Copies of this chain bind each other. A is one copy, B any other.
Amino acid sequence: MGTKRPTITDVARVAGVSKGAVSFALNGKPGVGAQTRERILAVAHDLGWTPSLRGRALSVSRALAVGLVIARTPETLGVDPFFASFITGIETALSERGYALMLHVVSDAQSEHESYRRLAATGRVDGVFLTDMRVDDLRPQLLDDLGLPTVVIGLSPGHGPWSSVYIDDQPGITAAVEHLVALGHRNISHVAGPAEFVHGVSRRAAWASAITDAGLTPGACITSDFSAQGGADATNQLLDLPEPPTAIVYANDLMAIAGMSTAIGRGVDIPGQLSITGFDDSPLAAYLQPALTTARTDVVGWGRAAAYRLLALVDGEKGCEIDLPSPVLVVRASTAPPCHQGTGAPLKDRRGPAPIRDRKKFR
């Protein structure tokens, strides 16, 4: 620590060559003789030289980092399994290229915009991921204006000119509804995420059309906020209805877990009197009582694909489409035939991936 880190100038001096030669040699580019190259590499190794990203970043006019801005409170972020997996996936792709991830966690949309502006203005990142897409989201336009390469997460390709990496969450909801219909449920409710979010409305639409497709009428739907409190409140409202549903499809696991607890607290037997499905396959889902039937998405793969895409975009390439698996339904113990079975025969035909019967059991 006493002595400063060696630079290519040091290497050049010791090796008796120019800085340019050193740069070429270290980057494996042509333009330097074989034995000169070896000598340079040997000197660099002896001196313990490592490239300075600061110098390189300035020189190539790149930050060699990408950004992820998350506008969430600790409460909603801390129990959402999405970002942990997503970031893990991102990292696998970035580390291969020596890129790093700058993370900003902000509380509201206001500081979110501010955050993007700063990221762009200071040149800290070469591109960003856009998550938690909203209906009529202003951010793609903002980032366009800022000239910051952007990969949008979870917006179906038709929705705009932006580069997006998409996993359709609808098959997960559809599979849940079909699973419930096959069990004999006829009054299936939905607890939706905010209408402000794309994944909120998308899952709601999937629920409604899956039920319609089964020849049934959609049950009550309550728009909530993806939080535990919201899931609990919505569940109470549904159970207070004159004709409460026999099954509830929740838009995420957190609301489903809170909803399930609420129902149990009211003396409702699950799945005997009420079937419940979630979305996310939280690491907790399999260990609840009863274990939660829920839709699982390959979020790590999603993150990896998004990162590859963003890096390609930064390089000015188009970026190849990566096939990502659709969500699959993991059937556990929170779903069962309703106690007052409907009259219609269970449907046999189903679309989308076949449900998985989860094998994990308590020992």
* Interface residues, chain A, with chain B CB atoms under 8 Å away: 1, 5, 50-55, 57-58, 61, 63, 65, 72-85, 87-88, 91, 95, 98, 100-107, 121-124, 145, 147, 227-229, 231-233, 236, 254, 257-258, 260-262, 264-265, 282-284, 286-290, 299-300, 362-363
CA distance A95 to B264 in the complex (A): 44
Residues of B within 8 A of A82 (CB): 78
Residues of B within 8 A of A51 (CB): 122
CA distance A91 to B105 in the complex (A): 7
CA distance A61 to B286 in the complex (A): 50
**Min distance, Cβ A49 to any Cβ of chain B, angstroms:** 10
- Are A257 and B121 CB-contacts (below 8 A) given A54-B57, A104-B100, A147-B1? no
Residues of B within 8 A of A54 (CB): 54, 57-58, 61, 63, 123
- The answer to whether B78 and A362 touch across the interface, beta carbons within 8 angstroms, is no
- The answer to whether B258 and A287 touch across the interface, beta carbons within 8 angstroms, is yes
Select from chain B the residue with minimum beta-carbon distance to A264. B289
**Min distance, Cβ A313 to any Cβ of chain B, angstroms:** 15
- The answer to whether A261 and B287 touch across the interface, beta carbons within 8 angstroms, is yes
Can you spell out 11 A-B residue pairs with CB atoms less than 8 angstroms apart? A1-B145, A50-B122, A84-B105, A87-B105, A98-B122, A228-B284, A228-B286, A231-B287, A257-B287, A257-B288, A262-B362
Residues of B within 8 A of A227 (CB): 283
Residues of B within 8 A of A228 (CB): 283-284, 286-287
A265: contacting residue among B50, B121, B289, CB under 8 A: B289
**Min distance, Cβ A57 to any Cβ of chain B, angstroms:** 5
**Min distance, Cβ A179 to any Cβ of chain B, angstroms:** 22
- Are A283 and B91 CB-contacts (below 8 A) given A52-B123, A102-B100, A102-B101? no
Most buried by B among A50, A82, A83, A283: A283
Select from chain B the residue with minimum beta-carbon distance to A280. B78
CA distance A78 to B262 in the complex (A): 23
Select from chain B the residue with minimum beta-carbon distance to A56. B122
CA distance A51 to B124 in the complex (A): 11
A103: contacting residue among B61, B63, B101, CB under 8 A: B101
- The answer to whether A53 and B300 touch across the interface, beta carbons within 8 angstroms, is no
CA distance A65 to B287 in the complex (A): 39
- Are A78 and B85 CB-contacts (below 8 A) given A101-B104, A104-B100, A362-B232? yes
CA distance A46 to B345 in the complex (A): 72
Residues of B within 8 A of A72 (CB): 84
Residues of B within 8 A of A121 (CB): 50
- Are A78 and B287 CB-contacts (below 8 A) given A103-B103, A122-B52? no
Select from chain B the residue with minimum beta-carbon distance to A282. B79
- The answer to whether B81 and A124 touch across the interface, beta carbons within 8 angstroms, is no
A-B pairs, top 10 by smallest CB distance, nearest first, are: A78-B81, A78-B84, A261-B289, A77-B84, A258-B287, A50-B121, A74-B85, A228-B287, A1-B147, A53-B122
A262: contacting residue among B254, B257, B287, CB under 8 A: B287
Residues of B within 8 A of A289 (CB): 260-262, 264-265
CA distance A80 to B79 in the complex (A): 7
CA distance A258 to B288 in the complex (A): 6
